[in-house]
Amino acid sequence: MTDSHSDALVFFGATGDLAYKKIFPALQAMIKRGHLSVPVVGVAKAGWSLEQFRARAHDSLEKHGGVDAAAFTKLSGLLRYVDGDYQDPATFQALRKELGSAERPAHYLAIPPALFETVVEHLGKTGCAAGPGCNEARVIVEKPFGHDLASAQELNAILHAVFPESAIFRIDHYLGKQPVNNVVVFRFANSFMEPFWNRNYIESVQITMAEDFGVQGRGAFYDQTGAIRDVIQNHLFQILCNLAMEPPVRTDSETIRDEKVKVLKAIPGLDPANLVRGQFRGYLEEKGVAPDSKVETFAALRLEVDSWRWKGVPFYIRAGKNLPVTSTEVLARFRRPPTVIRDSALSQNYLRFRISPEMTIAMGATVLAPSGAMNSENVEMIASHRPRPEEMEAYERVLGDAMTGDATLFAREDYVEDAWRIVDPVLRAATPVYGYEKGAWGPSEVDQKVSPPGGWHNPAAEDQEDFRVAAQAG
Ligand code: BG6
């Protein structure tokens, strides 16, 4: 453990859903890899004992990934539990006591943003985050980080009252996904990419995040959020930045994050005319959803990146619940060659980054068909294909990075604010919400109003064995 490694992990909201589904499995995985050996203090108001808290951890692991007996024994030994109200200073005094000699705790706020102010203030006042012997405390916060630009600025001010920016780690778990980071590596580790990865050769870029399930009992949360706030302003903008950023001149976290912020700066605020919102039929019957809700469970939009590299190339983003498949995929179509070959099968070249569920990087090309006749066929050149990536779970990666103080995979203050600036105009615009059937690719209005040249590419449920023969692109 280095001198800057967090010497305790505290997580607020310890009895909540996120802890149950993601945090306990991440903690067990960190232990298995030898990456966690410091006390882990759960804080919540449930009237629980430490034993009940351990039982909850066990239950969580049984349901999410399985219990590893040796790792669980070690995790149990590291677990501490503080029960109390976040409004009550005594809760934080008990936490300080539980932290013992820890000087560099990482406080993970897995709680609704409305509680941030109270918790952060108490952390500051009770010596859990600042003061003698506690100068390098960190805070890790979950998305959604605000619900518009103004609220994100308020949250930033709340955090900065106690933590400097360098101690704030805003999670976007998409940054913990290897296929998302592979976009950057593939672009900057391969010299053949650079000549064509720009406005001269790329005609359009589209990103689709499709989920074949609905709001899964999270109606009350989702109805305050909608697809734009839930996944576009954060997860899909991060993918967009990885696709559009310039090569960083150094590999430190701030240089990389500077380049991402530059992409956002080049994007004008969204025009409501370039957005189609949809709502799956049946959404209004979901528990926690307002009976007349106009919240979107689907959104498709077009934006511009007005940088030297991308000026004039439209970027399209589409995300939705209850679509036909669960997959996230990027397709960049090339401009057509000035060819004299006339063939109905002749297709546009494309580069395809499949982010999930499998990871594929492939380039669509046209070759002569084996039949021997002067017919062509479309094939894919596969750069990489991992059917079931054996990789670190996103939460394991981001928690580990926050504890070692590596900020690369976290959203910086200027980044989150600029991302909100871009979507703010459409969030305020009250554009129509069109209905769509479950299992459709969103409302039919999308194809008329927001459709890439050559149309939307619909990711397949699975990259099949024969996916090398592709006929999907325009
Ligand atoms: C979350 C959203 O941030 O990301 C969910 O709140 C969404 O609505 C989820 O389903 C998708 O994450 P993943 O890792 O399953 O693609």
Question: β-strands 202-210, 168-171: how paired?
Answer: unpaired
Cβ 393 under 6 angstroms from ligand 1: no
Q: Note the pLDDT of residue 470.
A: 46
* Centre of ligand 1 from the C-alpha of residue 211, in Å: 9
**Binning pLDDT at 50, 70 and 90, where does residue 387 land?**
confident
* Centre of ligand 1 from the C-alpha of residue 230, in Å: 8
Pocket mutation for ligand 1, best pick of 223, 232, 235 (most atoms within 8 Å of C-beta): 235
Cβ 329 under 6 angstroms from ligand 1: no
Residue 23 CA to residue 233 CA, distance in Å, equals 23
Cβ 380 under 6 angstroms from ligand 1: no
Mean pLDDT of 300-318: 98
Identify residue 231 by its one-letter amino acid code.
V
List Cβ neighbours of 13 (8 Å cut-off, separation of 6 or more).
Answer: 19, 43, 44, 109, 110, 111
Taking only the tens place, the pLDDT of each residue in 243-255 is: 999 999 999 999 9
Taking only the tens place, the pLDDT of each residue in 121-142 is: 999 999 999 777 777 899 999 8
Q: 175: closest CA among 250, 260, 107?
A: 260
Cβ 319 under 6 angstroms from ligand 1: no
Cβ 142 under 6 angstroms from ligand 1: no
Please provide the DSSP assignment of 362-389 as one string.
EEEEEEE-TTSSS-EEEEEEEEEEESS-
* pLDDT over 50 (residue 37): yes
Cβ 231 under 6 angstroms from ligand 1: yes
Cβ 171 under 6 angstroms from ligand 1: no
With vertex at residue 226, the alpha carbon angle to CA 454 and CA 459, rounded to the nearest 5 degrees, is 30
Residues paired with residue 108 on neighbouring β-strands, in sequence order? 11, 140
Which three-class secondary structure state does DSSP give residue 10? strand
Helix 50-63 and helix 69-78, axial crossing angle in degrees, nearest 10: 150
State the closest ligand 1 atom to the C-alpha of 221, by its place in the atom list counted from 1. Answer: 6
Q: Note the pLDDT of residue 386.
A: 83
* pLDDT, the chain, mean: 93
Cβ 418 under 6 angstroms from ligand 1: no
Which of 122, 173, 235, 457 is flagged as catalytic?
Answer: 235
For the chain, the straight-line distance linking the first and the last C-alpha, in angstroms and rounded, comes to: 52
State the closest ligand 1 atom to the C-alpha of 356, by its place in the atom list counted from 1. Answer: 16
Supply 1's token pair.
Answer: 């453990």
Sign of CA dihedral 110, 113, 115, 118: positive
* Centre of ligand 1 from the C-alpha of residue 51, in Å: 31
Sign of CA dihedral 107, 260, 457, 276: positive
pTM across the whole model:
0.94
Q: Note the pLDDT of residue 263.
A: 98
Which three-class secondary structure state does DSSP give residue 465? helix
List Cβ neighbours of 435 (8 Å cut-off, separation of 6 or more).
Answer: 278, 279, 280, 281, 443
Cβ 377 under 6 angstroms from ligand 1: no
235 catalytic residue (yes or no): yes
Q: Note the pLDDT of residue 394.
A: 85
Q: 389: closest CA among 356, 363, 361, 362?
A: 356
Pocket mutation for ligand 1, best pick of 211, 358, 392 (most atoms within 8 Å of C-beta): 211
Residues paired with residue 381 on neighbouring β-strands, in sequence order? 363
**271 CB burial (10 A radius; 0-12, 13-18, 19+):** middle
Mean pLDDT of 97-115: 92
Supply 423's token pair.
Answer: 């979507």
Which three-class secondary structure state does DSSP give residue 134? coil
Q: Note the pLDDT of residue 347.
A: 83
Q: Peptide bond preceding 195: is omega within 30 degrees of 0, i.e. cis?
A: no
State the closest ligand 1 atom to the C-alpha of 213, by its place in the atom list counted from 1. Answer: 10
| Integer-rounded Cα radius of gyration of the chain | 24
* Centre of ligand 1 from the C-alpha of residue 459, in Å: 17
* Centre of ligand 1 from the C-alpha of residue 199, in Å: 31
List Cβ neighbours of 140 (8 Å cut-off, separation of 6 or more).
Answer: 106, 107, 108, 109, 169, 171, 399, 402
Name the percent of the chain lying above pLDDT 90.
Answer: 84
Pocket mutation for ligand 1, best pick of 143, 211, 231 (most atoms within 8 Å of C-beta): 231
Residue 39 CA to residue 334 CA, distance in Å, equals 52
For the chain, the 3-state helix, strand and coil shares in percent, each to the nearest 5, are: 35, 20, 40
* pLDDT over 90 (residue 371): no
Q: Note the pLDDT of residue 126.
A: 92
Residue 355 CA to residue 401 CA, distance in Å, equals 21
Spell 413-452 as b/e; 16+ CB within 10 A means b: bbbbbbbbbbbbebbeeebebbebebebbbbeebeeebbb
* pLDDT over 70 (residue 418): yes
Supply 385's token pair.
Answer: 């294909």
CA 436 to each of CA 166, 321, 433: distance values in angstroms, whole numbers, following the listed order? 44, 10, 10
* pLDDT over 60 (residue 466): no
